[in-house]
């Protein structure tokens, strides 16, 4: 099977970049022909190239014609739709608010996959994608990389902020204040503080308590750490056996961060630390979100989509005006101030309604 993955950029290690890196690497290792198309081929792209995976910034540089496209982001998806006229696409949505993730509608997009129910809402509400064209495939953790610790501390002593958004002058200050009053040693891993690492699996087991969200939270949970959900958007809860299924529905992400940052609230969450819960959470997430399990689900989706397309199945009827509007809006959003963008959106919507 020839698989093309798209992503707006492949530089810094975050979000969909890590997702594409792990997915492409695994598909390649399992004997699939995989290539990646991106607008920015940075450090992560070079790592894939060193594995023998072709990463291109122009679609005419591909070595093969894909059988299926695993698409992230609207601009790269539109590029593929314009280049290849008879290839099915599965469109994966990872972000509830990013303009790069504004959904587009096209007959060759047979399935829209959200990584959680917050993104699913975006497909249904903002994208107006009918329910029968959508599904959810949760984020994964590579349990071979992120090992489960053998001992679980009864009380926390070391804590970690695991976030690319944490900086010394933002919500990190509140976390640091809470940890200091609790007597916890606090470290940070992430780009915002210049402390990002490519191998977080070698560090997470050293910490009893981790402050993180989304995929970072999943990885921390899998090692047996206690996890308090938080990031620049706000404060969530400590993950426990009672709330973990609900929190996973929303990828342990932004919709779960419902409270403002406050040291007293943070201390209240730290007080919930429970070694038995940590162990149970780890066993649970490692079974539910195993990379092997999710990879099998994704490759089955590819195979089924190709079969359905060959049988004549198509997605939502093409809406070229909508696709053009998305493309113009996103490109404009990159270059114009926010006020000008909002004015442009208002004018464009008024024109479309005439």
Tokens of 324: 């053009």
- The pLDDT of residue 15: 83
Q: What is the pLDDT of residues 32-79, one digit of tens each?
A: 999 999 999 999 999 999 999 999 999 999 999 999 999 999 999 999
Residue 353 lies in a domain: no
Asked if residue 347 belongs to a domain, the reply is no
- Using CA atoms, how far apart are residues 232 and 163, in angstroms rounded to an integer? 9
pLDDT given for residue 336 in this prediction: 47
Residues 17 and 109 both lie in one domain? yes
Give the residue numbers spanning the domain of 11.
2-140+291-318
3-state secondary structure of 82: helix
Band of pLDDT at residue 194, cut at 50, 70 and 90: confident
Decide if 80 is inside a domain: yes
- DSSP count for the chain of H helices, then E strands: 12, 12
Residues 27 and 123 in one domain: yes
Write down the H helix ranges in the chain.
15-29, 43-50, 74-83, 117-121, 171-182, 214-223, 244-249, 263-270, 275-288, 291-310, 320-335, 338-353
Pair 217, 311 in one domain: no
Question: Can you read off the two tokens belonging to residue 333?
Answer: 């959003």
Distance CA 203, CA 189 (A): 9
Domain count along the chain: 2
Residues 121 and 187 in one domain: no
Q: Does residue 237 lie in a domain region? A: yes
Q: Which two tokens stand for residue 272?
A: 């919930």
CATH code of the domain containing 219: 3.40.50.2000
Note whether residue 354 is domain-resident. Answer: no
Helix (H, G, I), strand (E, B) or coil at 100: helix
Helices 74-83 + 320-335 axis angle, to 10: 130
* Residue 74: inside a domain: yes
The verdict on 248 and 311 lying in the same domain is no
CA 336 to chain centre: 26
Give 13-34 pLDDT, tens digit per residue: 778 999 999 999 999 999 999 9
User: What is the secondary structure of 120-145 as a DSSP string?
Assistant: HHIIIIIS---GGGEEE----B-TTT
State pLDDT tens for residues 228-246.
Answer: 999 989 999 999 999 999 9
184 Cβ contact partners less than 8 Å away, ≥ 6 residues apart? 156, 157, 158, 159, 209, 270
Same domain, 11 and 60: yes
Evaluate whether residue 258 is within a structural domain. yes
Same domain? 192 vs 278 = yes
Q: For residue 67, give the nearest of 97, 90, 43, 94 by alpha carbon.
A: 90
Q: Is the pLDDT score of 203 beyond 60?
A: yes
For residues 100-128, give the mean pLDDT. 95
List beta partners, residue 137: none
SS3 192: helix
> Over pLDDT 70: what percentage of the chain?
90
What is the reported pTM? 0.87
Residues 275-317 have pLDDT tens digits of 999 999 999 999 999 999 999 999 999 999 999 999 999 999 8
């Amino acid at each position: 099977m020839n698989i093309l993955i798209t992503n707006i950029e492949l530089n810094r290690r975050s979000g969909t970049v890590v997702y594409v890196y792990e997915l492409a690497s695994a598909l390649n290792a399992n004997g699939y022909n995989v290539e990646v198309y991106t607008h920015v081929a940075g450090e992560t792209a070079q790592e894939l190239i060193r594995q023998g995976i072709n990463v291109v910034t122009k679609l005419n540089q591909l070595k093969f014609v894909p059988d299926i496209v695993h698409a992230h982001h609207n601009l790269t998806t539109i590029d593929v739709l314009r280049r290849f006229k008879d290839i099915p696409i599965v469109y994966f949505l990872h972000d509830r608010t990013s303009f790069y993730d504004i959904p587009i509608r096209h007959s060759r997009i047979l399935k829209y996959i959200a990584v959680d129910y917050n993104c699913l809402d975006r497909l249904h509400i903002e994208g107006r994608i009918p329910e029968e064209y959508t599904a959810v495939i949760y984020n994964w953790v590579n349990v071979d990389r992120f090992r489960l610790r053998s001992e679980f501390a009864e009380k926390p002593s070391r804590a970690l902020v695991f976030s690319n958004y944490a900086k010394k002058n933002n919500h990190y200050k509140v976390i640091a204040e809470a940890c200091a009053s609790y007597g916890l040693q606090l470290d940070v891993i992430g780009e915002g503080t210049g402390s990002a690492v490519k191998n977080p699996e070698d560090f997470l087991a050293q910490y009893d308590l981790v402050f993180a969200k989304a995929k970072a939270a999943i990885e921390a949970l899998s090692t047996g750490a206690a996890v308090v959900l938080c990031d620049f958007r706000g404060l969530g809860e400590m993950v426990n056996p009672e709330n973990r299924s609900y929190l996973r529905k929303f990828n342990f992400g932004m919709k779960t961060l419902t409270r403002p940052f406050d040291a007293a609230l943070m201390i209240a969450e730290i007080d919930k630390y429970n070694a038995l819960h940590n162990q149970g959470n780890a066993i649970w997430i490692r079974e539910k979100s195993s990379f092997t399990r999710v990879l099998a689900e994704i490759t089955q989706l590819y195979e089924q989509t190709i079969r359905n397309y060959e049988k004549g199945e198509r997605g939502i009827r093409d809406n070229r005006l909508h696709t053009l509007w998305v493309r113009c809006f996103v490109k404009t959003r990159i270059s114009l101030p926010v006020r000008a963008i909002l004015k442009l959106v208002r004018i464009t919507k008024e024109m479309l309604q005439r």
